[in-house]
Structure 1
């Protein structure tokens, strides 16, 4: 079975969307990707995977019959990873007990990899080095934003040109098990989104992005959480923190159609950054 073709005969636009993003990357010429991975959850700390190299074979624990035996081999961004931990300490990011750091660089070769990183690497990477960050499941928006600001300060310390890539969905409520493999669930069309209200809120956020109104997205965050944006929207919030937080005014340009994926809202968006930032 070709899982890319929906029961109504359509193919996803997300793959071609990666090509459109790659064209924009060619214009700005980064030498490092920072990928905020919405599938990599940590609990008591923000983690960057700062090994010098990443090599292995991925079979997804979530979708082992669909994503299996995918090889990967790419260089890490070790200097930037180390700088993130150093800057985190300098900014005073410690837990109150035992001065335990809140931002850590992990170089353990056994650290797992997730398809939300490997898919991005597969479709976007040419010769860029890659630093992957976790999404901490106990963090709140201000924690995510501080982590992003720390990454930005670390980037300024290291001689590299960085593209920050938030890898994750918008509203993220799946269809129930008895319906998850059904024509409605497998359609890429928006009518397959888990609820009309979730779809409408995704559209509202997209419009705010198009207008560069990130402060308004932050203001609406508690309301948006009713529709379960993936990973508490940490992939967006960390990226936004790295781009300047609530003061960032970069417009979001859709790089793909908005699509349903088994009830969840998905789209590629490129955020315009002024000058050489």
Structure 2
């Protein structure tokens, strides 16, 4: 670290990673003749990133489930070929190769130790830095990297622990923030995942309404209306109110227990964060789930 330098969060966004984002335009067109707006939404986000010039992306990956600890992928390089186990006929043979944020990954583990993030037996860490280059990456990271990353920007992917509760996600985010404070870096933190996340049933999931990007394809009217409520709260920077409604919102299965949002929020200051959320794409259906890109104002975070 250069003398006097410390890390800074310069950008934050919740972003969608739906499978069509891995496809060429002609294969993305829905049965009603539309392309997803999420691609152009990434371009809008990229324009904002160009203004603040991050050198590290921290991507909270709502498909990367861990069980007994939070994990950060702190290898110096990430490379491989992705065939998605969820949809191998759509996403297969996708090569990826980009630099990792090794220094920040190591700092996350150190910050976890400083904050006392240990399990009760054996002093086992709750926050683990894994540097194995062969750790697989999911399309929920790869799609975001493919559409947003430029030049020499490094990537630190972090997991969503499936046994964690909201306070655990928030603490993990706060730990990431403490690590950022210790490393000379400019961070864009991106929560990669959906809002409401209930799929249509097997017999309906490949149907015109399910494959339409229009909002009427969302799994239920109630799920759509709750997503709209959360978006309005974000618009006004009312993150504390979103937290208060968390257990009610869980009726509509926000993706990965909304861990991608909660970890990001923890890094931004938790319930005290009041950054307004501005949509960077239209709100869209994908096989019943609610998807959108939202950019959050981080002015004053550091």
| TM-score normalised per structure 1 | 0.99
How far apart, CA to CA, are the structure 2 residues paired with 1:152 and 1:165?
13
Count of aligned positions: 277
2:172 counterpart residue number: 147
1:96 counterpart residue number: 120
Spell out, residue by residue over 1:192-232, the C-alpha distance to the aligned partner (whole angstroms, 9 max, x if none).
00000000000000000000000000000000000000000
- 3-state DSSP of counterpart to 1:178: coil
Asked if structure 1 preserves the Cα contact closer than 8 Å seen for 2:177 and 2:268, the reply is yes
Of the three residues 101, 111, 114, the one matched with 2:135 is: 111
1:228 counterpart residue number: 253
- 3-state DSSP of counterpart to 2:129: strand
Of the three residues 32, 36, 51, the one matched with 2:60 is: 36
Does the alignment pair 1:238 with 2:269? no
1:272 counterpart residue number: 297
1:125 counterpart residue number: 149
Aligned-pair distance for 1:3?
A: 3.5
1:77 counterpart residue number: 101
Which deviates more, 228-237 or 103-112? 103-112
2:205 counterpart residue number: 180
Q: Residue 110 and residue 84 in structure 1: after superposition, are their counterparts in 2 closer, same or farther (change >3 A)?
A: same
CA RMSD of aligned residues (A): 1.0
2:4 counterpart residue number: none
Q: Which runs of 5+ in 2 are unaligned?
A: 1-23
How far apart, CA to CA, are the structure 1 residues paired with 2:211 and 2:205?
8
Of the three residues 208, 232, 235, the one matched with 1:207 is: 232
Of the three residues 251, 258, 261, the one matched with 2:283 is: 258
Structure of greater relative contact order (alpha carbons < 8 Å, 6+ residues apart):
2
Does the alignment pair 1:135 with 2:160? yes
How far apart, CA to CA, are the structure 2 residues paired with 1:132 and 1:191?
33
How far apart, CA to CA, are the structure 1 residues paired with 2:96 and 2:227?
32
- 3-state DSSP of counterpart to 1:84: helix
- 3-state DSSP of counterpart to 2:28: coil
Does the alignment pair 1:191 with 2:240? no
How far apart, CA to CA, are the structure 1 residues paired with 2:295 and 2:92?
29
- 3-state DSSP of counterpart to 2:122: coil
Q: Which runs of 5+ in 1 are unaligned?
A: none
- 3-state DSSP of counterpart to 1:23: helix
Runs of 4+ in 1 over 6 A off after TM superposition: none
Of the three residues 70, 74, 96, the one matched with 1:50 is: 74
Aligned-pair distance for 1:41?
A: 0.1
Aligned-pair distance for 1:276?
A: 6.9
